[in-house]
């Protein structure tokens, strides 16, 4: 399996145990007594948090989020058909997640809308076309898969546009290209260089991510911990710039809560360029578990 793909999935697995717990003080306290990475979701812990969404019950250790599954399915499809079209991608996802499909897991809003559209066509309901304005990290799944397979990223963008036509995704494809091709630069230098490719309205938050030490101040003023890219990308920059190893990066990501597993996809991909991945983490990636999800 390609290194970038493997690293992204490892990052995703690492954060699933606390994914969508929105109580940072609670997670900080919990982290002082037990590791928050590479764990199964514990309903009791979710119930103790002030705000949480317990949507991956009974998933064994080594499981990934829905976006992690999208990445795994897409990568497998590209192995057999590198000329995948947007329609192929849509059919791939729809057949997995539709009612009666093989996937057993939480379905997010963008995927629910796709299911509604496809069932509407099948039933000739003539419902209005839904706008493609999703702003979640799912838009980067094609980038990770195509980059791992060394395929043309213009085709990856077409797949991203299945859910969103926002220009920010293309800009961040360019940001990630710089981070994944450091040309002798260290991580901080690469992050600084990549900001020039970011959408103008993101630049202040990304710059502050590199220099702000007060975590609460940064989250309150420049990011957040939820799934939208205007919160996730600045926070990913903060995590990368305040970590000293792959393991350190995953621990910090988990302690922040929110979209931990889906941020982990991006963090794992980028972090693998600058840090060695511990063998104990690599061993957490069991493809037989993903095949059963």
pLDDT digits (tens, 9 = 90+) for 188-225: 999 999 999 999 999 999 999 999 999 999 999 999 99
| Mean of pLDDT over the chain | 96
How far apart are the C-alpha atoms of 119 and 122, rounded to whole Å?
Answer: 5
How far apart are the C-alpha atoms of 190 and 288, rounded to whole Å?
Answer: 35
Tell me the Ramachandran region of residue 285: left when phi exceeds 0, alpha when psi lies from -120 to 50, beta otherwise: beta
User: pLDDT-based confidence at 239, cuts 50/70/90?
Assistant: very high
User: pLDDT-based confidence at 292, cuts 50/70/90?
Assistant: confident
The pLDDT of residue 130: 84
User: pLDDT-based confidence at 1, cuts 50/70/90?
Assistant: low
The pLDDT of residue 126: 83
The pLDDT of residue 73: 98
The pLDDT of residue 12: 98
Among 219, 214, 179, smallest CA distance to 196 is for: 179
The pLDDT of residue 14: 98
The CATH code of domain 3-292 reads 1.10.4080.10
**Mean pLDDT score, 16-38:** 97
How far apart are the C-alpha atoms of 50 and 134, rounded to whole Å?
Answer: 27
HSE of 90, CA atoms in CB hemisphere, 13 A: 17
User: pLDDT-based confidence at 31, cuts 50/70/90?
Assistant: very high
| pLDDT above 90 for 291 | no
pLDDT in tens, 93-142: 999 999 999 998 899 999 999 999 999 988 888 888 888 999 999 999 99
**Residues in a beta bridge with 164:** 133
**Residues in a beta bridge with 52:** 21
What residue ranges do the domains of the chain occupy? 3-292
Report the b/e string of 102-121 with b at 16+ CB within 10 A: ebebbebebbeebbebbeee
Q: What is the three-class DSSP state of 55?
A: coil
| pLDDT above 70 for 269 | yes
Query: Which residues touch 5 (CB under 8 Å, ≥6 apart)?
Result: 71, 75, 144, 145, 148
């Amino acid at each position: 399996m390609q290194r970038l793909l493997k690293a992204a999935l490892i990052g995703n697995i690492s954060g699933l145990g606390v994914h969508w717990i929105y109580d940072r003080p609670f997670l900080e306290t919990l982290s002082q007594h037990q590791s928050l990475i590479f764990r199964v979701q514990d309903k009791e812990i979710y119930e103790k948090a002030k705000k949480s969404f317990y949507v991956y019950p009974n998933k064994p250790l080594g499981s990934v989020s829905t976006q992690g599954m999208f990445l795994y399915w897409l990568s497998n499809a590209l192995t057999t058909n590198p000329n995948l079209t947007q329609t192929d991608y849509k059919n791939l996802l729809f057949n997995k997640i539709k009612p009666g499909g093989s996937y057993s897991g939480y379905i997010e809003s963008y995927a629910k809308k796709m299911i509604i559209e496809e069932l509407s066509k099948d039933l000739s309901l003539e419902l209005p076309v839904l706008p493609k304005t999703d702003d979640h990290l799912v838009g980067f799944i094609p980038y990770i898969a195509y980059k791992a397979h060394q395929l043309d990223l213009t085709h990856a963008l077409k797949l991203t546009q299945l859910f969103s036509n926002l220009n920010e995704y293309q800009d961040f494809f360019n940001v990630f290209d710089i981070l994944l091709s450091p040309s002798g630069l260290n991580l901080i230098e690469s992050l600084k260089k990549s900001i020039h490719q970011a959408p103008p309205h993101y630049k202040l938050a990304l710059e502050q991510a590199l220099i702000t030490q007060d975590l609460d101040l940064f989250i309150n003023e420049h990011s957040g911990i939820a799934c939208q890219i205007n919160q996730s990308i600045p926070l990913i920059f903060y995590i990368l710039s305040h970590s000293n190893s792959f393991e350190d990066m995953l621990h910090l990501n988990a302690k922040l809560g929110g979209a931990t597993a889906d941020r982990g996809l991006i963090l794992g991909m980028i972090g693998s360029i600058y840090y060695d991945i511990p063998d104990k983490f690599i061993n957490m990636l069991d493809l037989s578990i993903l095949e059963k999800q």
